[in-house]
Structures are given as C-alpha cells and as structure tokens.
Structure 1
Amino acid sequence: MSPKVTEAYKEEKRTTILAGALHCFLEKGFQATTTDDIARHLRISKGTLYGYFASKEEIYIQLAHARMDDMVETLNTLYMETSSAKAMLRHMFERFRRQPLDELRKWLTFHLEFTTYASRRPELIASNRTYLDKALNLLNRILAAGKRSGEFRAELDESSAAYLFWAVRDGLALSFLLDGDEAEYRRILDDMETMVMKHLTA
C-alpha cells in the first residue's frame, strides 16, 4: 500500500472515530461518555481508538476545532467570491438558523460540561483557549475587512464587537438550553441579527 493511500486511510479512520464520538457525547454528555462507550459504538477495540487519539479530551478538542475550521474555510471561500464582510456575517447567522434547536441543546450541554471540566485541568485550558481565540480571530478578521471596505463604521472596535457577536449567539442558546419553542428561538435570532448589523453599520 502506498504512503498516500495509507495516510488517506488514517484520515478516514480519524473522521469515523470523531463522528462516532460526537454521537456518544451528544447522547450521554462529555463526562458520562467513556472511551469504552466510543469503542463499543464504533465496534472497534480500545487499542485501535488509542492508536488515533490519546484520550476522550483530545477527541473533544479535535471535534471542536473541526467545526470551527469548517466554518473558517467556508467563510474564506465566500469572501473570495463576494469580498463582502456583511455576507460573511449573514452566512454565520444562517448557519446558526440551520441547526435544529434540539441538536444545539445537545451540543451546548456537552460543550459546557467540557468547559467546566477543563477549568479544573490546567493542561486543557490552553487547548480550549486556542479554540476560543480561533473563533474571536475569525470575527476580528471579518470586522476589520468590513471597516476597510466601508461596510462597517470606521470607529468600530472589532475586538469588542467580536465578543459581542459570540455573546449574542451563546447567550441566546443558553436561554433556550432547557426549554422554549423553536419558532420563538428563530424569531429572536432574526431580531438579534438585525440588531448586530445595525450596531456594526450605524
């Protein structure tokens, strides 16, 4: 087997393990899920699992980064096509709208579990910070591009606005974490998009 095929197989196996782990995390939560659960769900040995990931913590971190990297890649492509910072932000809101509320609740629940878990483990804080910085830097780049193009007001502080954007998204998600109607969630999300865009351009 050629090295190229071998690397492709390894990458496919990693992707399969990440998908299986995500299923387990969504069903049971981060702390309740064990590597035994993941291996059992995938019908592989724990040895095989550990051949790709050292721990369930590493699996979670890779999952989070994969989601963020997918968004970054999509937005970079969109910017090359449109050169519009506004279009990039509207695309992000559209991604939020496309995610069913039940799925968002499951993802947010185990994400919060991991964040609390990581806060007591210094070795995980840096990795989690890297993920958060990736999200903030993405917004900083979009907002700075919007200022250069004249889409956003020149005096806008892009660092503060980046935090505002994620605070809007995460705050709304937390408000609907335990209950609430999907139609109401989407209505408020639409209103928040309007408010955020008005703040950036007013």
Structure 2
Amino acid sequence: MTPIVSEEYKQKKRQEILQSAHVCFAEKGFEASTVDDIVARSKLSKGAIYNYFKSKDEIYLALMEGQTNDSGSKFAKAIAERETSLEKLNYLIEAYLDNDPNDEENIGHAIVHYEFRLYSTRNPKLKDMLTKRYRDFFVSLLTGIIKEGQAAGEFNKELDPETYADIFWAIVNGATLQATILEDYHYKHILREMQSIFLEKLSSK
C-alpha cells in the first residue's frame, strides 16, 4: 500500500529542492548546473526531484515564480501605505537601490537571473512565459501607478502609461545588468541620476 504523503510534507520537500537548486545555480551558473548537482546538494534522489519537477528549466521557473510572488506581496503592501503616485514610484526605485547587484549576497543571483534570460531566447516557450510574467506583473504594476498619477494631476496625461512602465523597467534592468557585467560600475549613482531624468519627464509641470 502506497503511504499517504501530506501536502505539508510535499511543500517542505519542494522547498528543499528549490533552495538547493538556488545554491547550485548561484555557485555554478544555470547552464553548468545539473540535476545531479541538485541531488548532491539536497540529499534527495533524482527520482524524488523528478516527482516534483520535470526539468531544470521548471525548477528555475518555480524559483522565479516564488520570488515574483514574494516581491509582489512586499510591493503591494508598501505601495498601499503610500499616498501619492510619486511616493510609490520613489519607493520602488529605493527598493532597487537597496538591492545592489554588486553586493556579495546578490551577485550570484543577478548573474543567474540574466544567464537564464539569455538561455530562454533559444526556447520560444520559455521566452513566452518570461514575457508574460514581465507584462502581467512588472509592466502592469507600473502602468497602474502612472495612470493613478495622471488622474491625480501628478504626471503628464499626454504620456502613454505602458510605454513609460517599459522605460522604468528598462532603466532598472539596464543599470542592474551593467553593474553585473562591468567592473567599478557606480550602480547607485547611475540609478539615482536615471531616476531624476525619468521623474522630470513624467512630471505634469
């Protein structure tokens, strides 16, 4: 008779796999890491891992989903506590200023983050999934804030909110990528200057 496994147990094992995979990806890179590496790190069998995830791609997507959900909850709570759209935008930028990819605890994650995105460009299904995630969460979040600011008279009503949401993330992602691949890149200074330029353009004055 097959033993009954509780949902709590399944979630615990799933998280153990994800945490082990995250360490492997940060240490060796996404493409260089293997399921055998995750097996060695997690102390689980390969069969046990495949009970939860069909592939290494699926493991990384689950990690991204978890991070997006965590960020979404954090951002939603903090944004709701701020009254103006300008305050909400500044909060988001400050959150990224506090997450410098050059910091030791962030560098491994930042490298894997961009490595996986490049890897996904050769896989149409993955590319579609990442594009949907970007549109449904990141662009939607900024579009909502900008529209709110336009309605309140804070931001220029002639500007297209979705275009400026894309510009915002291009600024953040561009600065993060540069900081990840270049030596002595002044991430915080650059991001603050870009913040000033972006807000000046967005302003209704």
TM over 0.5: yes
SS at 1:150's partner residue?
coil
Name the aligned partner's letter for residue 86 of structure 1. Answer: L
Q: Does residue 186 of structure 1 match 2:194?
A: no
Query: Counterparts of 1:92-171 in structure 2 under 5 Å?
Result: 92-100=92-100, 101-102=102-103, 103-133=105-135, 134-171=137-174
Does the C-alpha gap of structure 1 residues 176 and 76 become closer, same or farther in structure 2, counting only changes over 3 Å? closer
Distance 1:33 1:76 in 2: 34
Aligned match of 1:198:
200
Does the C-alpha gap of structure 1 residues 8 and 150 become closer, same or farther in structure 2, counting only changes over 3 Å? farther
Name the TM-score, length of structure 1 as normaliser: 0.86
For residues 20-62 of structure 1, the C-alpha deviation after alignment (integer angstroms, 9 at most, x for no partner) is 2111111111100111111211111112212221111011112
Unaligned runs of 5+ in 1: none
Aligned match of 1:80:
80
Report how many residues are paired. Answer: 198
Alpha-carbon contact 2:114-2:177 (below 8 Å) kept? no
Measure how far apart 1:97 and its partner are.
1.7
Does the C-alpha gap of structure 1 residues 67 and 87 become closer, same or farther in structure 2, counting only changes over 3 Å? farther
Distance 1:108 1:120 in 2: 20
SS at 2:52's partner residue?
coil
Alpha-carbon contact 1:118-1:124 (below 8 Å) kept? yes
Distance 2:122 2:193 in 1: 37
Alpha-carbon contact 2:120-2:126 (below 8 Å) kept? yes
Distance 1:90 1:9 in 2: 41
- Root-mean-square deviation (CA, aligned residues, Å) is 2.3
- Quote the sequence identity (%): 34
Larger relative helix fraction? 1
For residues 148-194 of structure 1, the C-alpha deviation after alignment (integer angstroms, 9 at most, x for no partner) is 23332222211110111111112112222233336x22122222222
Alpha-carbon contact 1:68-1:135 (below 8 Å) kept? no
